[in-house]
Chains A and B, each alone.
Chain A
């Protein structure tokens, strides 16, 4: 089985809530402070580094997250397709 990052997955899962996504877009760092992410993964999140994040989470959660974070679908497609 693939390596799954539970904390990263939890963040992405939680951001399905409209209120949580709104708060995240307003202040990413404040929301990320509540999750014990590995520093490299936190940096990848802040950098919208989809290539680094993709192997660590379920693909549906990754797509939900990028949408919740405000990334346009076209940009997400470009990043995920490499």
Chain B
């Protein structure tokens, strides 16, 4: 059966691409170093497939069709549609339909009803971590979109359940593939609302403590209590919650945290050790 090769998480922000040419060297280094460290961890995990969990920033879905969860099962995904992502250099990314379909079937058998896409566009939320982790060549990607953009959104408890389902699907996938999970998004940020630019470092520290401590209930309780007031972008922590559960909820290693007002985000990078 397949093996869970590692579970990772990283923040993203469009300004990391759009305004990169405006950043001074210390700021570039502050962003580059943790992505590189995470990239080295991912490389060391030797994944054959990467399941990436990220939000959709109005690239694929609109108010006429807004899934809570969507799995990309195509052999090919489109690269990021945003012009500021042109430097990423990938207009398409390889998918992995066999595992994606197995995940979909596992979900349906397990009482989950995700939306399905045969051709997702992977926007900056998916591609900035892949780009900045300097993965070349890119591994085949199985994308999972969890809605963290427009209410109503899946509950934190449901994101835990999705992570557990993902772990189960990996464990039951025939063959010997090594499958890594990468969550993209968070931690605190506020976009397009009156608190835009605010970074809630207290919220971020609480998230980190909860993920480090491990377990499911404490993560759910903390986020149910704090997330509604932490800024709209903070809802992307749902992806970290799913990753946490996929890793067995056994606690993570924080690689770096930095509140970076130049990109409006409380940025964090982390790795779970599923074998711990």
A residues near B (Cβ < 8 Å) are 1, 4, 6, 9-10, 13, 16, 18, 54, 58-64, 77, 80-82
A1-B151, A77-B197 given as contacts; is B58 within 8 A of A63 (CB)? no
Q: For chain B, residues 61 to 99, give those with C-beta under 8 angstroms from any C-beta of chain A.
A: 62-63, 81, 83
* Inter-chain contact A61/B193, CB cutoff 8 Å: no
Residue in B57, B63, B152, B232 whose CB lies within 8 Å of A9: B63
CA distance A6 to B232 in the complex (A): 20
Q: Which of A6, A10, A18, A81 contacts B196 (CB 8 A)?
A: A81
CA distance A81 to B196 in the complex (A): 7
Alpha-carbon gap, A1 to B62, bound state (A): 17
Give every chain A residue within 8 A of B194 (Cβ-Cβ): 54, 80-82
Q: Is the CB of A13 within 8 A of B83?
A: no
Q: Which residues of B contact A58 (CB under 8 A)?
A: 58, 149-150, 192
Asked if A63 and B192 sit within 8 Å, CB to CB, the answer is yes
Query: How many A-B contacts are there with CB distance less than 8 Å?
Result: 49
Specify which chain A residues have a CB less than 8 angstroms from the CB of B149 in the assembled complex: 58, 60
Q: Looking across the interface, which residue of chain A has its beta carbon closest to that of B198? A: A81
Give B19's nearest chain A residue, CB to CB.
A73
Q: Tell me the complex Cα distance, A27–B192, Å.
A: 25
Count chain A CB atoms within 10 A of each CB in B59, B151, B192, B193 and give the residue with the most. B192
Residue of A nearest to B152 (CB): A1
**A61 vs B149: C-alpha distance when bound (angstroms):** 10
Binary contact track B192-210/A, C-beta < 8 Å → 1, others 0: 1110110000000000000
B-side interface mostly: loop
Q: Which residue numbers of B lie inside 8 Å of A, CB to CB?
A: 57-59, 62-63, 81, 83, 149-152, 191-194, 196-197, 232
Q: Determine the distance from Cα of A8 to Cα of B133 in the docked complex, in whole angstroms.
A: 37
Q: Which 4 A-B pairs have the closest CB atoms?
A: A59-B192, A63-B192, A59-B193, A62-B192
Q: How far is the CA of A64 from the CA of B57 in the complex (A)?
A: 10
A-B contact pairs, 7 of them (CB 8 A): A6-B63, A10-B63, A16-B59, A54-B194, A58-B150, A59-B192, A60-B191
Q: A13-B62, A16-B58, A61-B58 are in contact. Are A80 and B192 (CB under 8 A)?
A: yes
With A1-B152, A4-B63, A80-B194 known, 7 other A-B pairs at CB within 8 A are A13-B62, A13-B63, A16-B59, A58-B192, A59-B193, A59-B196, A60-B57
Q: Are A80 and B193 in contact (CB under 8 A)?
A: yes
Q: Which of the residues B59, B63, B151, B196 comes within 8 Å of A77, measured between beta carbons?
A: B196
